[in-house]
């Protein structure tokens, strides 16, 4: 096992443009282009790679079959996935003609070996057809979702890259044993494993056979610029200050709703603004006049909403999934110059100079009060400067450099 390291490409003596041969990428994505937020790293990296090469992004093939009564928002998930499948193979970005997105028709039968093999064969045929139509040959195969392993292994490729963006076996609805086995196999067979969590990278040192790289998340600084109050959404401006807020997916396996309810209860004169699609019931907040839930907003709309927060929240669950995560939201909050209060997890410790970290619910609440009473830790300009070199363009260049070193 070899570690490539974490140095910025700006500090590297290597001329990446000479190393990059423009080889195409095939990405087995962890999300779906048509309904997930465009902030996700797969989308950010692949759209930038597509400026200089052909890229095929395969929308997530999932990790489990949603089950009524067990999976959150069952029918909503089924409907949006079926709608995505109807898109087939498309080039959804007008000014990126070499960026292809495939929504494969699939039946995620992960409960049996025969079901998994049947489904893998079905998706493989569609992927091969898409690769041929896009004119892709000998690509780098970039795998984020572990269930794509069987398909990825059968493709002709220049290299296999495992994007270890999350510990998927810790996902609440996943078959832990099955997914963990796929993760281990990917770690053993990948030419390069990419990490966004230094904690997870350290824990898996002995499992990896190929090279590894800590590739931190980036932020789109052009999109995430602070919006003046007079240009913020009217719906937001009607909500009284002070405002504490969160934007993003409202899933109960990531967001600590008990903590949010504690904030609503203990801070009745503070507006709690939640912006995002809820994949679980929000009825518990109906009794609080100071809670304002706004449904899904597009990637481009989010900065205007976030700019209206007096304090930005990262109220995460304390579980294995979060312990090994590195939320992109942190850098988006910083880019907007926001004061931030977060629950604790290993990766947040690297930002302890610009984030108030609550080790338990009571300390989280006290930090929110402190922020509201005493003001932010730093100026808006200083918060943004913390991520001024963390662009997705620079992360893409780091990826190109790392892949170029494989040959």
The per-residue pLDDT for range 233-246, each reduced to its tens digit, is 999 999 999 999 99
Cα dist from 111 to 116, 141, 383, whole Å: 8, 26, 46
Neighbour-count burial of 153, counting CB atoms closer than 10 A to its CB (0-12 exposed, 13-18 middle, 19+ buried):
middle
The pLDDT-based confidence of 401 (bands split at 50, 70, 90) is very high
- Kindly report whether the global pTM for this prediction surpasses the value 0.75: yes
The CA distance from 242 to 237, in Å, is 11
Domains 2-218+391-404 and 229-385 share a fold: yes
Confidence of residue 198 (pLDDT cuts 50, 70, 90): very high
* pLDDT per position as a tens digit, 49-100: 999 999 999 998 875 544 444 445 655 666 766 666 677 799 999 999 999 9
Rounded to the nearest angstrom, the gap between the alpha carbon of residue 104 and the centroid of all alpha carbons in its chain is 21
Q: Domain 2-218+391-404: what homologous superfamily?
A: Glycogen Phosphorylase B; (3.40.50.2000)
Angle among Cα 371, 372, 376 to the nearest 5 degrees reads 40
Given 3.40.50.2000, 3.30.1360.120, 3.30.830.10, 3.30.2420.10, which CATH number is that of 229-385?
Answer: 3.40.50.2000
Could you tell me the residue ranges of all domains in the chain? 2-218+391-404, 229-385
């Amino acid at each position: 096992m070899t570690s490539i390291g974490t140095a910025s490409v700006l500090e590297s003596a290597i001329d990446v443009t000479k190393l990059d041969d423009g080889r195409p990428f095939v990405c087995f994505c962890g999300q779906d282009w048509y309904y997930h937020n465009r902030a996700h790293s797969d989308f950010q990296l692949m759209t930038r790679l597509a400026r200089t090469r052909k890229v095929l992004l395969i929308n997530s093939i999932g990790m489990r079959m949603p089950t009524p009564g067990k999976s959150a928002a069952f029918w909503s998930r089924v409907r949006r996935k079926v709608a995505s499948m109807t898109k087939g193979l498309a080039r959804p970005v007008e000014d990126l003609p070499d960026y292809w997105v495939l929504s494969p028709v699939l039946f995620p039968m992960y409960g049996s070996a025969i079901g998994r093999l049947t489904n893998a064969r079905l998706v493989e045929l569609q992927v091969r057809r898409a690769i041929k139509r896009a004119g892709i040959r000998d690509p780098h195969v970039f795998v984020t979702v572990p269930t794509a392993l069987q398909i990825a292994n059968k493709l002709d490729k220049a290299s296999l890259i495992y994007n270890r963006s999350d510990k998927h076996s810790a996902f609440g609805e996943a078959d832990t044993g099955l997914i963990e086995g796929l993760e281990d196999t990917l770690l053993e067979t990948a030419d390069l494993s990419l990490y966004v969590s230094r904690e997870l990278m350290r824990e898996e040192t002995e499992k990896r056979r190929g090279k590894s790289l800590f590739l931190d998340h980036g932020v789109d600084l052009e999109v995430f610029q602070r919006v003046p109050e007079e240009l913020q959404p009217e719906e937001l401006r009607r909500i009284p200050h002070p405002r504490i807020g969160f934007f993003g997916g409202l899933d109960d396996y990531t967001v600590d709703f008990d903590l949010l309810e504690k904030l609503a209860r203990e801070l009745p004169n503070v507006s709690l603004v939640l912006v995002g699609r809820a994949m679980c019931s929000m009825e518990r907040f109906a009794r609080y006049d100071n809670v304002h839930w706004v449904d899904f907003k597009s990637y481009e709309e989010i900065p205007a909403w976030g700019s209206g927060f007096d304090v930005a929240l990262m109220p995460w669950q304390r579980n294995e999934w979060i312990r090994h995560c590195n939320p992109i939201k942190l850098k988006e909050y910083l880019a907007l110059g926001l004061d931030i209060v977060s629950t604790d997890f290993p990766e947040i410790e690297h930002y302890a100079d610009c984030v108030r970290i609550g080790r338990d619910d009571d300390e989280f609440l006290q930090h929110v009060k402190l922020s509201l009473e005493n003001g932010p830790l730093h100026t808006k300009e200083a918060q943004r400067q913390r991520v001024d070199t963390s662009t997705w363009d620079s992360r893409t260049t780091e990826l190109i450099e790392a892949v170029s070193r494989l040959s």
